[in-house]
Structure 1
């Protein structure tokens, strides 16, 4: 019997055999791939088990640390002898917290990558509360509020400062529109560019940025500080960065005292006694210089402190000589540093400081020679809390006098004058004083009234335009609704008188707003 070539039986058989062949081939491939994957899967399972064991060990370590903190919290009240009166949330010592934080950081470094769930957003309701140990560390009181630990070290760092805006209106000519310096008041040949017809200035130059660090080491503390503002040039209101301070300090280093090296306020200055004016510069008679130095200071009991320093002689100011219409430039030649000795006495009610400054004033008016003289200064300054109903009010004062020290004052008149006739340098006698009074009207509203005066004895060979006397007056009203913001208005009056009798004066109205961080 002949078979029909178009019979559907043959294609069906062929298709069936083809499917069977390829299905067998596919299964073989799967078996080969599974053999390759099995070792990988077993290795991953082994790694997961190791990670789980490591996480359990780390959890046990955290539990141990948590119990140590609880023991510290229980031990602190017991050491006072009055357990029932000690608050439950007594602050943990900063050193103990630093040590615990270091241990936690070391443990966390050992956690294998990607073994923990990814972090969630703070607003995510699934985020769990802080662990007990994190809660204790984040909320514990410290001796340095606002600081943060640098992970992996015992160093703490702090960033602070403020953003400040001053709006000034001057009624007359002054060459320092960003600061109120009576010595810069124009006493003759006034021009409109200098503000003879009045001028308004906006400036943020006095905004400030401060970076500090502290690190304990074997009973000592290392401190560093860098501070900047933007008052590089007082003749303009454009902000230009300026270094204010840059120093390092170590405590309990030499004879039980602290040693500072770097740029800071002159040791001769008394920053505590400076009146709280809105004016950035402050009274003309404030000793307000900052320069490089090496300083040693030590406290003697709770009341006294002694300071001694060698400071850079970079603040010496010499008056140029004018001969037959030509100006002879007098160049500073610094040979010996300034020496400063200060004694401080203070209690809760008063602060008093007395300081002695010795200087080697050296200059060259003749390129082939240098001449010198000795400068000195004595300063008495302090603060005093008012008694009775005025107990919140504060009186500040300063009185200084001497020869050849005036370059350290805010007004910065010359320290010495050069006499070309006999190639000599003569120190100028100067007296400077101020008094300020701060009164609180309400817990967030206060006023400060200030008066300052600087007078210099002129020599016969000085030119007629030589500095003779300036005066400074100010009164303000400041509102501080909360600690990190203040705003207020201040009215200032300044005057300058030269040797020849030329006088200049102006009134400045200043509005200030300052936000601190």
Structure 2
């Protein structure tokens, strides 16, 4: 209550008491008039006070409420309105490789990981030990809002297959491009895993890649559109032949369609590919049609285990399977291209034990139906098995040991084998 009203009440009480005490001495009407004059004066004072307060409020500057700044990214860092993320891993491996026949050149990428078609046949067996960090990898990812969507990009490199360095002094190796693509809305443009491949089917291993015999494994430039569970893509074409080299005279890109299913069970993909297989030999050119079908995925078993698988087959799928252990076509005696049929697959089991350790193992194979007119030295099948123990010794630090055995057979029935032990140390960041 304001002091003005308190004064009014006190004055009223005092006046009432005074009237009661001196009612006979003074004229009641004159005192009532005096009281009315006092109330009128107090009203005027109250109105003046209120007007002054309203004027102060009117001229007081209103505090601005600036728009809240967007929160900092939880993954990466911001430069302007672009969020950048840098990551990868350092991977140091030791391989001890035993070959039943022949040798693999020290500069070959097959010394760093298992390439089924590179297993030699014929000659004396050899054993070698290699230390390497060439599978070390790094990437840079960027994203920014554009309209009501996000534009993102990804660049990824490692050092495998470099022709720059050697083991004489510095072991210097140049980066190689793995992935480089942009995404906006449903569209992807650039070099990425082939839409024909489901990467979740790749088994975990201590080495760079395992069970590649019957695995769909390709990275290449493409344009991809994704709608719900469906993916559609046109991808870089290339026609490989068994007896006249690799041809690059295609006019029509490889076309891929894929349907993905996922849930608590894991994920399964069904993919189909259609290919123009074409070669131009100057005076003669020919083409044929290739196609393939793949079913692949990862199925959850219990709380921690999973089964990974890939089944694939078709005519002319060549370089898409087995790291090009076979080829897409053969040139028959009449100078015509013939698509080469093949089928294969893999199955892997990943089993966790303890808090940070797990076992990974499996089998893979590719079987090729070569035309009869080809030489007996052409690969007819490749198969492999492996087992690995992996242990997370610290956050993002994994130690792994692995033993694999591979077998390559040619049309004559002669075969050669590879046995490799790998010890790996990997730190992901």
TM-score (norm 2): 0.78
How far 1:285 moved relative to its partner?
Answer: 1.6
- The answer (yes or no) to whether the contact 1:165–1:513 under 8 Å persists in 2 is yes
User: 5 Å matches for 1:237-276?
Assistant: 239-251=173-185, 258-276=186-204
How far 1:382 moved relative to its partner?
Answer: 1.1
Rg larger in structure: 2
Q: Is residue 406 of structure 2 the alignment partner of residue 494 of structure 1?
A: yes
Match 1:308 to one of 232, 241, 254? 232
- The answer (yes or no) to whether the contact 1:205–1:240 under 8 Å persists in 2 is no
1-structure distance, mates of 2:410, 2:143 = 48
1-structure distance, mates of 2:159, 2:298 = 29
Q: Is residue 381 of structure 2 the alignment partner of residue 469 of structure 1?
A: yes
Match of 1:379 in 2: 294
2-structure distance, mates of 1:341, 1:497 = 33
1-structure distance, mates of 2:297, 2:84 = 31
Q: Is residue 242 of structure 2 the alignment partner of residue 319 of structure 1?
A: yes
2-structure distance, mates of 1:332, 1:259 = 26
How far 1:330 moved relative to its partner?
Answer: 6.0
1-structure distance, mates of 2:412, 2:249 = 30
Q: Is residue 146 of structure 2 the alignment partner of residue 146 of structure 1?
A: no
How far 1:233 moved relative to its partner?
Answer: 4.8
> Alpha-carbon deviations, 1:158-204, whole Å to 9, x = none?
000011111100111345111111211001235xxxxx320001111
By relative contact order (CA 8 Å, sep 6+), the higher-ranking structure is 2
Match 1:361 to one of 260, 277, 295? 277
1-structure distance, mates of 2:192, 2:166 = 24
2-structure distance, mates of 1:233, 1:496 = 26
- The answer (yes or no) to whether the contact 1:330–1:418 under 8 Å persists in 2 is no
2-structure distance, mates of 1:437, 1:236 = 37
Q: Is residue 264 of structure 2 the alignment partner of residue 348 of structure 1?
A: yes
Match of 1:439 in 2: 351
Q: Is residue 145 of structure 2 the alignment partner of residue 216 of structure 1?
A: yes
| Partner secondary structure for residue 171 of structure 1 | strand
Match 1:166 to one of 93, 114, 129? 93
What stretches of structure 1 of length at least 5 have no aligned partner?
A: 1-59, 70-95, 99-136, 191-195, 252-257, 300-304, 322-328
Match 1:335 to one of 251, 256, 259? 251
Normalized per residue, the structure richer in strand is 2
Structure 1 residues 405, 351: closer, same or farther in 2, change over 3 A? same
Match of 1:480 in 2: 392
- The answer (yes or no) to whether the contact 2:249–2:278 under 8 Å persists in 1 is yes
Match 1:281 to one of 177, 202, 209? 209
TM-score (norm 1): 0.65
Say what the alpha-carbon RMSD is for the aligned residues.
2.0
How far 1:399 moved relative to its partner?
Answer: 0.1
1-structure distance, mates of 2:322, 2:87 = 25
**What count of residue pairs does the alignment treat as equivalent?**
353
2-structure distance, mates of 1:335, 1:236 = 39
| Partner secondary structure for residue 356 of structure 1 | strand
| Partner secondary structure for residue 344 of structure 2 | strand
| Partner secondary structure for residue 286 of structure 1 | coil
Match 1:207 to one of 127, 130, 136? 136
1-structure distance, mates of 2:162, 2:113 = 10
| Partner secondary structure for residue 111 of structure 2 | coil
How far 1:481 moved relative to its partner?
Answer: 2.5
Match of 1:43 in 2: none
Structure 1 residues 339, 243: closer, same or farther in 2, change over 3 A? same
Match 1:184 to one of 102, 118, 122? 118
- The answer (yes or no) to whether the contact 1:178–1:236 under 8 Å persists in 2 is no
- The answer (yes or no) to whether the contact 2:240–2:247 under 8 Å persists in 1 is no
2-structure distance, mates of 1:508, 1:250 = 43
Runs of 4+ in 1 over 6 A off after TM superposition: 234-237
> Alpha-carbon deviations, 1:348-382, whole Å to 9, x = none?
22201000000000113x32121111010000011
2-structure distance, mates of 1:154, 1:278 = 39
Structure 1 residues 357, 465: closer, same or farther in 2, change over 3 A? same
Normalized per residue, the structure richer in helix is 1
Match of 2:361 in 1: 449
